Structure 1
């Protein structure tokens, strides 16, 4: 049995679709954990076992992991978390205990690039995510952390600005190239690991996209796909933090994002070499044509 957390999120939802579309091995079952089963389409709900509740709750994960062979683990956003440690490792502790109690063999988690870089210890959310990986690995379960860069899909929250003003913003240096990836490719990497389960030990699986791109590169591709000029405006970290606070994020999370973005400009994401194994297939142009353009036009 495979257990999927966040089955209606960007990555978890796509993962569930991929697994439901697979010719699953005989006897393989799917179980999902979510607070509101009503968010699942009826056709999906009829094909999976549903455990209702938060996967940060000990009683919920105790039920969810009973009989499980593999788990997809993703910590959901919590805008009012008191600290990054509470948001990541604190949320994961009950699950880590349940992995051992129920003899879960394999766990695939969503994490970040940066381990081993000089800035990994002061990278906000990334630092906390890597500590969560260490917590899961300490249980003895076979664990693979999907080590991800910035997502293409993060641009979707700026779809209105791209449409109305021809502008997207960020804190990255305008001509600094770095890996970026589509969340659907991260889901595909997770699906492959969850179905295989021949792997052992702990490690990272980088998902780097097919090429490094700068914000200026992104603007050029968006301009071509959308048929109008799109430009990048670099924000200060102070302005970035103020915008996050205005969206309701607490102080700990805002500072964590500031620290993460500062670390990215200091080389957090560029320590892993792109190979056929670490590259992922979706180009930014494909993603713009298939995802961003419909969102901007909606």
Structure 2
């Protein structure tokens, strides 16, 4: 992706010091759409919503076509005494215990050995075994033949074995980054919604409401849900503010923390006491100076205030993948010519 860097007659001031890429990657000139980086131009070319409403578009009813992406094809001509499995687009084989497990299979090791020889002759690459929990007796026998764990989830473990000896394995790592969200909500009294976490690393500190994104949950939906669960405040999406990326997450994972601005629909707080000990609306001036507010959280608010000053949003548009026929979200920067009500 190429990025166009342009000069501006407006001095960067605090925006550059707080969030440098906003100033460096985008022109703040009046004719703004001519200066958007190429990837954002494509967004408009692809016929995304052209109205000025920055809300998330309604979800469309579509039928995903995952087979085009994964391209699993069941093997119909496997030699007798071998596992059948399914081939993938990378010339690998996946065997699922749910389909091929036999409780009285005393010849498992012989069957596996014969299968490995056949797959090597066919120049297959990676062999995957998806083993359900109730078929876990397969696992030690697979390990004996050189299989190793790739990942595990509730209900199954996935083991793999790289066959080619002349080619280095280039298997994708399993999901290695956790995703969390936080919400910046400001009411009509210029107060920000803050909470105290029961298990905070810094006792009695104030932070933004939020939490982890659930599997297959959208960033916007997750942020709205987490804020509602913790504080009872319902809200609508305004803009993405910032991302924080670290490598000290749980389970040796990296961690991405997305901060979104939301517009509150109600003011009355209903506390979720299992994780939150206190929640309140705090004046912005107090929040920016409060000794129990982490500097990073103060910066999130400063960035958002700069967005408002410069009539800038980082919007979310829904689109549909042309081949896979699945919906996805495109995030991009958008300028507003008129005074914004962010």
TM-score normalised by structure 1 residue count: 0.25
Higher relative contact order (CA 8 A, sep 6+): 1
TM-score of the pair, normalised by structure 2 = 0.23
Larger radius of gyration: 2
